[in-house]
Amino acid sequence: MWIVYALLAALTAAIVVVATKAGLEQVAPATALAIQGVFILVISWSLVLFGGHFAKLAEIDRRAWIFLIVAGVATTLSSFFSYKALSLGNASWVTSVERLSIVIALILSVTFLKEKLSWQLVTGAAIMIVGAVMIAMAGKG
């Protein structure tokens, strides 16, 4: 079932890029992020409330809170940097370079989460890096 959610995440992430790029034509990146942040806040807390998870907030331990706060700050900064890049460059170029986050996440997962590294992961990461470089270089020509 995880694959369905992962594919839905990929689809919605692509929609975010295109819609944000279109919206940035007349809006500053920080303003766009703030506008979208309101919807993120409302939708996220609606999922918590209607999903019956609100009562479990008190059960979250300190370590989890710290990691979730760090991830929240990183999410916000990532979105801002992405929006700034989109305001300056083509969506296809920005997205291909930005998605190198997959390779960085792989390295961090192996390093900090002790996930296993395989030849398939290394090969896939190398292909992603080459692809991102090729697309970025196409943008210069």
Could you read off the pLDDT of 79-128 as tens digits, one per residue? 999 999 999 999 988 998 999 999 999 999 999 999 999 999 999 999 99
Average pLDDT, the chain: 93
d(CA 69, CA 130): 33
pTM: 0.84
